[in-house]
């Protein structure tokens, strides 16, 4: 901590280390966007209602507008930019593309991060569980049906990939 008004924050985002000075009041969302230049994390309401700013903080989904950057010092963060494998969209992203899981795209990063945690914890969710899992993210295009379809299809694709890998062994 350099002085009472500025703190130095170091975070590992998508495997890359970033260090920046900021006021303690800077939210993690602003730090990611302005200090790290990672603008895939979107800010909608900035008071913990819309969920667009959801990131994985030490592997746990959290709203980056309700966490101060200084609190994330030393943490490992995954943002939407960290989902693709190189230039290849991951299974969940591909599924959103194929099943029309995004319309205007504003909520998409929040939806993807929430769904990433959901499918990690529950690889075989029911539709109700998917709806509950993404309930913390608002889509103002109201495109929930396609989002739920995308997540359900991604879960199916992940299961297929696992069983293919199993039968190939």
Partner 1 sequence: MKPPPFEYRSAHDSTETVELLTEYGDDAKILAGGQSLVPLMNFRMARPSVLIDINQTQDMTGIREDDGHLVIGAMARQRVLERDPTAGVAVPLLPAALAHTGHTTNRNRGTFGGSLAHADPAAELPALLVAMGGELTVKGPSGTRIVPAEDFFLAPLTTTLAYNEILVSARLPRLPSGTGTAVEELARRHGDFAIVSVMAAVHLDSNGRADLVRLAAGGVDSTPIRLHEAESVLSGGTLDETSIDAAATAAADASHPVDDVHGTASYRRDMVRVLVARAIRSAIANR
Interacting residue ranges for partner 1, rule: CB under 8 A:
1, 4-5, 7, 23-27, 30, 46-49, 51, 54, 60-63, 65-68, 70-71, 114, 117-118, 132-133, 135-136
Can you say whether residue 123 is alpha, beta or left, with left for phi > 0 and alpha for psi between -120 and 50 degrees?
alpha
Nearer to partner 1, 98 or 117 (CB): 117
Nearer to partner 1, 27 or 158 (CB): 27
Cα-Cα-Cα-Cα torsion 35, 41, 45, 49, nearest 10 degrees, comes to -130
CB of 167 to partner 1, least distance (A): 32
Q: Which helix (H) or strand (E) holds 42?
A: none
CB of 119 to partner 1, least distance (A): 13
The Cα–Cα gap between 24 and 143 comes to 36
First to last CA, the chain: 52
Nearer to partner 1, 45 or 161 (CB): 45
Nearer to partner 1, 24 or 40 (CB): 24
CB of 155 to partner 1, least distance (A): 16
Q: Which helix (H) or strand (E) holds 16?
A: strand 16-22
Map tokens 């959801």 to a residue: 54
CB of 70 to partner 1, least distance (A): 6
């Amino acid at each position: 901590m350099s002085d009472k008004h500025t703190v130095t924050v170091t975070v590992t985002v998508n495997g890359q280390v970033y260090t920046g000075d900021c006021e303690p009041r800077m939210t993690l969302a602003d730090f990611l966007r302005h200090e790290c230049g990672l603008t895939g994390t979107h800010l909608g309401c900035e008071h913990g209602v819309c969920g667009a700013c959801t990131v994985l903080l030490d592997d746990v989904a959290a709203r980056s507008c309700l966490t101060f950057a200084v609190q994330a010092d030393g943490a490992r963060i995954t943002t939407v930019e960290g989902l693709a494998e190189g230039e290849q969209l991951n299974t969940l992203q591909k599924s959103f593309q194929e099943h029309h899981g995004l319309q205007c795209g504003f909520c998409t990063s929040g939806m993807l991060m929430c769904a990433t945690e959901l499918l990690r914890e529950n690889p075989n969710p029911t539709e109700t569980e998917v709806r509950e899992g993404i309930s913390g993210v608002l889509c103002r295009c109201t495109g929930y049906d396609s989002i739920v379809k995308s997540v359900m299809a991604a879960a199916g694709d992940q299961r297929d990939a696992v069983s293919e890998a199993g039968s190939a062994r």
